[in-house]
Amino acid sequence: MKDPVNDFEIPEEWTRKSPLPRAEVEDLVSRGLIVVLSDGSFLKRGFTTGTTAAAAAKAAVLSIGKALGIGTVVSIPTPIGLRAEIEIEFAKDGEAGVRKVYNDHESDITRDVLFCAKVKMASLDDPEFSTENAVDNILITGGIGVGIIQRAGFETPIGAYAINPKPLSQIRESVKEGLREIGLFDEVCVKKESALIVSIYVPDGIELSKKTLNERIGIIGGISILGTTGFVEPWNDHLGEMKDVLIQDAKKLVLTTGRQGMATSSMLFPGYEIVMVGSRITEGIEAAVSAEEIVVCGLPGLVLKWGNPDMLKDSGFATVVEVLEKDPKNALLKQAFEMCIKKGKGARIVVIDREGLVLMDSKGEFDYLMKS
């Protein structure tokens, strides 16, 4: 069974341990709603700010001329081809609100936040409508609580609302679906006799933005509308500086080198405290004074070079990844891994690739995931 969001092939051993009927597990996985863990338990995915905004936009279109009942489910496309189904909070007279699904991601500050959209049928000479910024006569813009880009270097230009290209496209496609369902698609998108103005707003967005890094990086006045897959992964995402308290108190601990390590560790080691430490693996191990079990999990570039910082010296290779790709049987890899085990002082060492597959495991438990 493959997870359609991250393309991870879920081992049969994991699904057999699940307390849910297999048919239910398959259904939830196929819709991208859960991540199955190695002990058969699962975590709940959520939807991105982009998906939530798209649902609000479609609901707003559907409510032109009629109100939708509270709890009505709106189905929208996601960037990876799956459908997302979300209940609406309100939808009437071209305005709608949808609460972002509460997922198993502790640091997602937008969980359960209300995202809204207001749509307006307009003439082509309406001063609020801009042909230059519209696609198929649909103009998508921001409102209160959506940040505005103030610096160069983002996917959207300076002065624009912080709605990234993929969610922008997702919102547009959802709006088109709504127009088809109410019979206005041809008028707006084909004959182009009328235009549609869609405004995304987040009532609590200004306050929420104070809990983010937006202002520091140049996004002012609100949060961003983001999402590359449409789904939020359910990780306890300890980014940035090492969380000494978490490490010191943990009984079962995974130290990861980056986001891929976070994602894979959450599946392989449910019930463990998972902390991202980057290259500070030794400091993490030394700080784990209460740990009964320690796992180091991450990509080979950081983990193997932690074991042997000089592994590439005079090797003719520029990176560890190059060694793996061009000469996967090279003795340098095994030697560095053995040095990791020694340096780990009893910690279990798990090396993964960028797809989340286990390349090396000092305990050998996940051998069935290893590449030949």
Distance from C-alpha of 59 to C-alpha of 46, rounded to nearest angstrom:
19
Write down the CATH number for the domain with range 47-232: 3.30.2110.10
Number of alpha helices (DSSP H) and beta strands (DSSP E) in the chain:
13, 20
What pLDDT is stored for residue 370 in this prediction?
44
Write the DSSP assignment of 87-146 as a string of letters. E-SEEETTEEEEEPP--S-TT-TTTT-EEEEEEEEE-TT-TT--TTT-BTTEEEEE-TEE
What is the C-alpha to C-alpha distance for residues 33 and 15, in angstroms, rounded to an integer? 15
* Residue 98 and residue 225 in contact, taking contact as beta carbons nearer than 8 Å: no
Give the span between the Cα atoms of 221 and 215, in whole angstroms: 8
| Cross-sheet strand order for the sheet of 348-352 | 273-276, 252-256, 293-298, 348-352, 358-361
Residues 69-100 pLDDT 10s = 999 999 999 999 999 999 999 999 999 999 99
Beta bridge partners of 85: 75
CB 349 within 8 A of CB 340: yes
Contacts of 55 (CB under 8 A, 6+ apart): 47, 74, 76, 84, 86, 88, 98, 115, 174
Which one of 3.40.1360, 2.60.120, 3.40.50, 3.40.720 gives the CATH number of domain 235-369? 3.40.1360
Q: What Cα–Cα distance (Å) separates residue 344 from each residue in 149, 236, 294, 295, 362?
A: 44, 23, 9, 9, 11
Residue 135: count of CB within 10 angstroms of its CB: 12
pTM of the model: 0.74
Tens digit of each residue's pLDDT (9 = 90 or more) over 19-64? 999 999 999 999 999 988 888 888 899 999 999 999 999 999 999 9
Share of the chain above pLDDT 90, in %: 64
User: CA–CA separation, 211 vs 60, rounded Å?
Assistant: 28
Q: Helix, strand, coil % (nearest 5) of the chain?
A: 30, 25, 45
Looking at the DSSP bridge assignments, the partners of residue 145 are 222
Residue 174 · residue 230 · CB < 8 Å: no
Q: Report, as ranges of residue numbers, the positions in the chain whose pLDDT lies below 70.
A: 235-243, 245, 367-372
Annotated domain spans of the chain: 47-232, 235-369
